[in-house]
Structure 1
Amino acid sequence: MIIFVIIELQKFNFLNTHVLEKIIKFWSIIFLIVTLDIIFELIFGFNSIGFVSEYPGRIASFFGDELIVGSFYHFFGLIFIGYLLNKKYPQHLILIIGILIILISFMIGERANFLRMFISIFLILFLLLKINFFKKLISILVIMIIIIFTISVNDNLKIRYYSQLKSIYTLNGIEKYFKKSQYGAHQNTAFQIFKNHKLFGVGMKNFRDESKKEIYENTEYKKNDIRQATHPHQIHLELLSETGLIGYLSFFILILFSIYFSLKNYIKNRDPIQLSTIIFLFTSLFPLLPSGSIFSTYYGGIFWFNYALMLSFNRKFKS
């Protein structure tokens, strides 16, 4: 299915340049609608059609009880910035919009996706905007000041971004944090599964069945009793536990070659949207950060669609 999407999107981009441009414009409009809805929810505590997040400090928007708007915002935010750069909007306006996107991503309350968004927008703006370097640094400083101030006055965000993470900043903090969290229980189980099935793993989408077995109990992890899940919430450990070293190395050889040829094409043709897809792919694969499943879930769908879109530009501009 993934291969079919890649091939068809390559054909579509190659043969229907103007149609793809209209689609990206439509995506940009959707992104702006979701942005307004997020702001609405931040002000009123519910979104424009009445959805309410069950978790303080998290925004639901149109996704209801599926708290996935952060990954949506990461992908479409980068596409939107790429679209503005393609259309030659004023550089200072794009800088301001980039700052606002980062701040809204922060307010959504999805920590991992906020970090990915921050790094992604930072890379795009610093690489593509022809604005004084000092102004770019001032912009980063402004973002940090606003974030620190917001955390200090908003109790829910203080819990999300400080109280729940403060153990990380102590001696052996990362290890302590993971041993107390459900993510830690998932990821420890995935690593144990990998150690028992090093070459080929337990098979795609089989973590959900393997993780409940008694041999993976580890009382060092506080949430050990809820270690079972559909996936281990970390791409690298998902690949290692379900496909083993063979699958893991095959995946990253594919990804690295794809990024190499896409960067080569970008350097030749300078399409900001392709750079946005490259950066999205790069930040989606950060180690340690929690993530959705790459083989299923909404997160995986966005990941592979972005991958197909990135490759489609290579075919589009091939000489």
Structure 2
Amino acid sequence: MFNIPAIVFENTRIVWISLFISFMIVILLSKINIKRILLIFISIFISIFILLQISPNSLTRLKSISDISYQNQSNYERLLMWQSATNMFIDHPIYGVGIDNYYNEYIHNYRSPLSREKQHHPHNVLLTFLSETGLLGTFGYVTLFLYLFYHSIKTYIKNYNIFALAYLACLISFTINSLTDSIFSQIGYGKCTTFFWIITGLYFYINNHISIKYKKYI
């Protein structure tokens, strides 16, 4: 919990969104009464308001989330990269352009004339897999995460296992963050992938050896 303000002040907007959605889902799925849920919601919104007032730059970043104009380079550049990656996939739908070949293809064949950056990935995990490995490679990635979601949801519904709910929140945050960054086995993000596998391994180990259920709060 002490790290959350630090994460917020990093001003990575997708992290704000993923944390907010994960918290909301965890709260709604938790076995707590309506009054406590409302109290938690109010506390979260008040905390967000205070944090944004303390950091004007964070408030500016928040307002820029929906700005896709050319002047907002961060957002506009992502749209151009997503378009380039989509075009790669359309041209090479089965096998993609090859693992680690995105950058070369992007620079020489698919980069938009409006682009102002030379990125090594399209800032989207799904588009990274589609452009580099096509449908064959992407099938494995999608199947893996569908299974992880299915397993954690099924486990939580079956016995209200607190670890399953925590892991589900991690999956949701990781997946949302993957929409605007290539954080799964990509350049500069190896540690994120390693940490993800550590959490996944701990989840399955704990799930198989420890049985902890939520108590219903009154």
- Residue of structure 2 in register with 1:201 after alignment: 96
Q: Number of aligned residue pairs: give it.
A: 208
- Residue of structure 2 in register with 1:68 after alignment: none
Deviation digits for residues 259-302 of structure 1, max 9, x if unmatched?
A: 32333333444331232112211332238831233113133223
Unaligned segments of structure 2, at least 5 residues = 212-218
Residue 151 (str. 1) matches residue 88 (str. 2): no
C-alpha distance in 1, partners of 2:92/2:140?
16
Three-state SS of the structure 2 residue aligned to 1:294 is coil
Residue 165 (str. 1) matches residue 55 (str. 2): no
C-alpha distance in 1, partners of 2:40/2:55?
22
C-alpha distance in 1, partners of 2:73/2:177?
14
- Residue of structure 2 in register with 1:121 after alignment: 23
C-alpha distance in 2, partners of 1:155/1:203?
43
> TM-score with structure 1 length normalisation?
0.55
**Residues 141, 266 of structure 1: alpha-carbon distance in 2 compared, 3 angstrom cutoff:** closer
Deviation digits for residues 151-191 of structure 1, max 9, x if unmatched?
A: 356321122212x33535xxxx7x99689633223322211
Q: What amino acid is the match of 2:9? A: M
**Residues 280, 234 of structure 1: alpha-carbon distance in 2 compared, 3 angstrom cutoff:** same
Correspondence for 1:263 among 144, 153, 164: 153
Would you say the 8 A contact 1:274–1:313 is kept in 2?
no
Unaligned segments of structure 1, at least 5 residues = 1-30, 36-100
Root mean square deviation of aligned Cα: 3.2
Q: Cα offset for 1:141?
A: 3.1
Structure 1 range deviating more: 144-153 or 117-126: 144-153
C-alpha distance in 1, partners of 2:67/2:173?
24
C-alpha distance in 2, partners of 1:274/1:155?
37
Correspondence for 1:192 among 87, 99, 105: 87
Counting only pairs closer than 5 Å after superposition, residues 90-105 of structure 1 correspond to structure 2 as 101=4, 105=7
C-alpha distance in 1, partners of 2:195/2:210?
23
> TM-score with structure 2 length normalisation?
0.77
Identical pairs, percent: 24
Deviation digits for residues 128-161 of structure 1, max 9, x if unmatched?
A: 252x313322432343244345435632112221
Bigger proportion of residues as helix: 1
Q: What amino acid is the match of 1:186? A: M
Q: What amino acid is the match of 1:113? A: V
Would you say the 8 A contact 2:77–2:116 is kept in 1?
no
